[in-house]
Structure 1
Amino acid sequence: MRDRAIWKTAPPLWRDGLTGAVDLDRPAILRFDTDDFMTRLQASLDDPARRDIGGFVLRHETWRQPAAGLTPPATSQVPRLYHPLHGRFYLVTGGLVCQRYGVPDKAVHPGRDESVFCVLRRLEPVRATRVDPSDRSTFREFGWVPSGTAGRWVAAPGGLAAGEERLPMFPITYVDGHRRRMLATTVPVAARERYEAALPAEAVGPAADDPAGELALPGRARLVNIVYGLKTLCQLPRPTSASTLERFREATFFALVDLATFFAEELPAVWQGSATAGFPGILTSRLTQTQFRADTGAPNWLSALHEAHANRNAVLAELAAPPAPVTGISVDDVVHGVKDLGVTPAKDPLTDPFYRLVSNSLGAVQPVTVPPTGPPGPLPVTPSRLDGAVYAARLVYERPHCPPSHRLTISAPTEAFQLAHFYDPDAPFRQNRIVLPVDTSLEGLRKFPRAVTIELSAQLRRQMERVQAIKLKDLDEGNIPGERPLDLGLVCSLSIPIITICALVLLMIIVSLLNIVFFWVPLFRFCLPKAP
């Protein structure tokens, strides 16, 4: 029984995950507000008293509330990631572990061309709904394919898009009873303008003459691995010792966890036990009417899957006994239960009746996208897209020499986030020092390039033109008379040294005026009569 690799959140966050503070099944984004963030992170991991890094987990913040660990506002805004110039640094972190009790780290062998990396995904909302990374029906997923100095967003509903950008990951090790490893990579916030400039093309389904088109649909390749794992349980040799029997129960438990997670994410109606018309209803009936064990007092398959899903995170530590529902289960119970479910010993999972039933249920609730006759066009610009695109990151473990169904291990998406503009008005700020030029002659100032561009919206331009003719109260309430039909903004290009010199001159004038107004105040003496 070969250990299967899975992605979890970063191992130092598992304690927080058991309490519900973070999601154990998806990578986490850590936020730092100093340049020495790597030193701080390593020091926290090396010191057992400070190993709680939950305070670094990404939270929504603005320049008005710059403290770490903020509670998201009531509106559940998507967190925004700021630039290093703003004093913010972000790491996407996760753990590549084996599906074993205690979830040990999975070894990556570069000699076999194995690699781990991160991909950035753009999440486009479906039918103007809000993007929820935990619900794939609310978004379409696109991967970034670089091309020279630009690039494009390509639909990536299943695995990786051809030529998709790979962000390399690096390990961070520490000792927690035994040596542990956390994988991390930085978020390319500085590439925001390049990502935002390209609109994604419409998602295109598999070609009609593609024999592997069915596997290209969401969930199909994942289902093949699950059915293959159930078949393997029926074909394993009978355990000859207590240790091999425990390994058999361990493999059974994780096979149930895989199937339970699949139903929870791909077929939520079946997972909730609701019997609807068509294939989802047939599948629900099969799971509720088929016994998981041979004895009549055992729960049905759906109950067993719910027990396995509820105990999926109990394996983060060494267990004294196997978790439910495999506690005390025998090999015959497993074999009879798998066969009663409809899984046959046939070698090809695609011909398995249980696979066909689940696959038809997927097709009933997830219609196939018909390929368009012409080239894909850009998505329409909606008001939500004008506020900035929504992104998420996935971690990938690639083994290029394995069969296609085992080649990629892709994590769940991280929490959704947006990338802040370089001059975002809500961005935090850091202290800056501006050095003025030595040569301030006109000839010297002309040498400086116009490196600053100030953009004024049409509304702000109109307000500036009429600011002398209205009161501040009118400006605050929006009562601005004399609207003009011309609705254009302005773009002003200036030089940084000229701006700083003008600001300095203006400051000196203001200080001189204040000195004229107030310097004589201490010379006055006021005497008031006092009654005896």
Structure 2
Amino acid sequence: MQSQMISAHALIGQTQFMTQWVSPSPTWPTQTQNTMKRPSVLVFHDDAFMDTLIQTALQKPQDLDQHRVKTAGQKLFQPVHGDFALVAASLVCSGVTLPERQTHPEKGEQVAFVVRRLVSNTEYAWVKGQGWVVADLQKPNEQEDLQGLFPVVCGTGDQQRRIWAGLVPTSSRDTFVSQALRPAGSDLAAETQQYANTLEGAPKYPATQQFKEQLQQALLNFREKQPSPADLEASAFFFFDFLDWFSRYLPSALTLIDKGTVPADNDKLKPLYQLLVSLKTSGGPTFWDALKQVRVQHKAGNFDPTNHTNLNLRTNNTVSSEASGSALFAFFNAVPPKVDYAPLSLPDVPVRDSRLNSKDSFVVRMYYHRPYCRFRPHLLSEPSLPFTIAPYFDPDAPARPIHITMPSDVSIRGLRKYRRNVSIEMSSDLRKKIQQVTPKVMEGKLEQAVEFNLGLICSFSIPIITLVALILLLVFVVVLNIVFWWLPFFRLCFPIKR
């Protein structure tokens, strides 16, 4: 065992005494100098993976190497497919025998791991509330999502050691893929300038241009679309979006609205106030009064557009505030570059393609935090071998066996034994719609719904639902067999003894 430790120490090539993450100790005999410094990804193919991991680590720790991912780019399947991926590593001190590093939670020490995304050799970190941002390779990013680790004992007697393992969140693939990559600060500045340069007669700030475009689109919708009851709701949301823009880019205007006072003549917001007071909705209130009216619910966070029916922007299929819109555009376009309104900048939104393609992959890094350590409180390991994550519907994914027992007694007496254990709640509006669906629908006629303002909770029996679904499925499969000829590949029936 000691010779194994010495050879492992030679592999990692360290002469200075320091704490570091290395591959899990049972896999050291099969490691190379390049892989020794990486945490290992272990894959198990059954739901009892925790029992398998613990028993194998205790009784035959060398067999853990059979579960290790040994090639870059390997596809990891999700738990729904029956596969479970774990990341494992040893936290050691670089002594002659690579002694195990003891952790002290009572001193605030923490062990965890992070999932990183690789795009064109750039590493991105998953940050809560922001998605993928350019990663810090020396420590976790602020608010980066830390995944938990648990200790696993390997071997017995004097050869017993401890490794750290954690479940790789492969089931979060869809969440990971849906989020965009946020560029670094220098890239963002370049893209902001490029965006501004491509706009014909662009204003001083892209955020102003974006808001101007939103106003223009909203007013165009009123002018080009036919009047409808939705106009009242759309008008209320028009002012709600106005307040949202103030809260992000012009908070001083929002403060003025909350106070409800007229700004002084030397106030930089006086021109904006005068403009909003001069513009009126078709319902009567000025834009200033409309903003104050909507602000009450905007601040509370429970906005209900039905409470603002007097803010309609449409009059006789035209927009009464079309000239108002032009005035707003001119005002925001004339914002001087050094006016001390508030930070007017490109919104903090994703600006790059968020779709994960076949070339994108993930890695994991182990993390050890010592808050009291003055010189190196954060310790990130080397990245694991890159891997990809299979989507939920992957044709290569292993299929879990599914066995559903259908009702054996299909008589009325037998079917009534099955409990109605699935409940579906319907609103009163949905109930009315369903009541209109009768056999007369085939003739293009709808029944009149019963007028009472109550919803329904309907209970169903799973075995009977499954029986009905099976019958309908077989009908469609047989009918469409004349097109696809798929019946020989669809089902396999064999007798069982009853």
What TM-score, normalized by structure 1, do the two folds share? Answer: 0.44
What TM-score, normalized by structure 2, do the two folds share? Answer: 0.47
Greater gyration radius: 2
